[in-house]
């Protein structure tokens, strides 16, 4: 349009820019009036609630992961304990067998059954044979030595391998039990964090529904403090890596 015709100014005129700036200023003024003290409390409560929900979800996830760690270590503990019991049973059975064999040999010796003694000696187990030879080496004049082969250190040495296996399983069972206990304590700590964050949801959620401004702010402060404490506690705990 011709500027000289007296019509409205074009879009690029200074008057039009001033009008747009005026409208933007009024919109900002309206927005500032809407966010009075009550609105800011609600906004802060929303932030606290959102943070609490996220941290609570993560804590619940970590508690679940640590529960799995506890179960795995408990299973290992049971396995090692079972193996240790089986080895102990084997040792006991071997000692009973050796004791029975030695008792039979002594009876045959008393009866003068040298052929039976020789046959039995050939069938002595590897745990008894070295001790028996060391025991007979102490014989004087062909007499039966005092005591029994089981009383000699050589007999205990015959069980060294089995005793090492038993010790291995006992040690690993203790380690697994301690690891399971640690995982249980860690999982319980994450559950406690989740419980604290549930109280945060209560204080922050209920606080926005109250009418008194002082009470609303008090509830918000309590919720913020509990949320900060829960997050600090959660960060101090060992975290399991995320796996898909």
What DSSP string describes 81-111?
A: HHHHHHHHHHHHHHHHHHHHHHHHHHHHHHH
Share of the chain above pLDDT 90, in %: 45
**Top-confidence residue, 236 or 13:** 236
Domain enclosing residue 57, as ranges: 37-236
d(CA 240, CA 70): 12
187 assigned to some structural domain: yes
Mean pLDDT (whole number) for 173-179: 96
What DSSP string describes 203-230?
A: HHHHHTT-S-HHHHHHHHHHHHHHHHHH
Mean pLDDT (whole number) for 213-238: 90
**The pLDDT value given to residue 29:** 63
Mean pLDDT (whole number) for 1-6: 44
244 assigned to some structural domain: no
CB 40 within 8 A of CB 216: no
Q: In which band, very low, low, confident or very high, does the pLDDT at 85 lie, cut at 50, 70 and 90? A: very high
Judge if pTM exceeds 0.85.
no
* DSSP category for residue 8: P
24 assigned to some structural domain: no
Q: 176 pLDDT exceeds 90? A: yes
5 assigned to some structural domain: no
3 assigned to some structural domain: no
CB 231 within 8 A of CB 225: no
182 assigned to some structural domain: yes
45 assigned to some structural domain: yes
115 assigned to some structural domain: yes
Mean pLDDT (whole number) for 175-190: 96
Number of structural domains found in the chain:
1
For residue range 43-63, list pLDDT tens digits in order. 888 899 999 999 999 999 999
Unique residue bearing structure tokens 């959102």: 50
């Amino acid at each position: 349009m011709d500027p000289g015709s007296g019509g409205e100014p074009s879009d690029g005129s200074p008057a039009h820019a001033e009008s747009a700036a005026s409208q933007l200023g009024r919109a900002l003024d309206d927005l500032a009036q809407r966010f009075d003290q009550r609105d800011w409390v609600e906004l802060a409560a929303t932030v606290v609630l959102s943070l609490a929900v996220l941290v609570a979800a993560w804590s619940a996830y970590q508690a679940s992961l640590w529960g799995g760690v506890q179960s795995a270590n408990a299973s290992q503990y049971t396995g090692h304990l079972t193996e240790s019991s089986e080895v102990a049973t084997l040792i006991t059975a071997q000692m009973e067998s050796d004791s029975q064999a030695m008792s039979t040999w002594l009876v045959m010796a008393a009866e003068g059954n040298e052929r039976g003694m020789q046959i039995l000696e050939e069938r002595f187990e590897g745990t008894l044979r070295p001790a028996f030879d060391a025991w007979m080496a102490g014989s004087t004049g062909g007499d039966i030595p005092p005591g029994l082969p089981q009383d000699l250190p050589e007999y205990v040495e015959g069980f060294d391998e089995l005793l090492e296996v038993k010790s291995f399983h006992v040690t690993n069972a203790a380690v697994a039990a301690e690891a399971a206990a640690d995982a249980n304590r860690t999982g319980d700590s994450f559950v406690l964090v989740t419980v604290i964050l549930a109280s945060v949801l209560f204080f922050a959620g209920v606080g926005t529904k109250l009418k008194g401004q002082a009470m609303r702010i008090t509830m918000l402060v309590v919720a913020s403090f509990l949320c900060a404490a829960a997050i600090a506690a959660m960060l101090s705990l060992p975290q399991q890596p995320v796996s898909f």
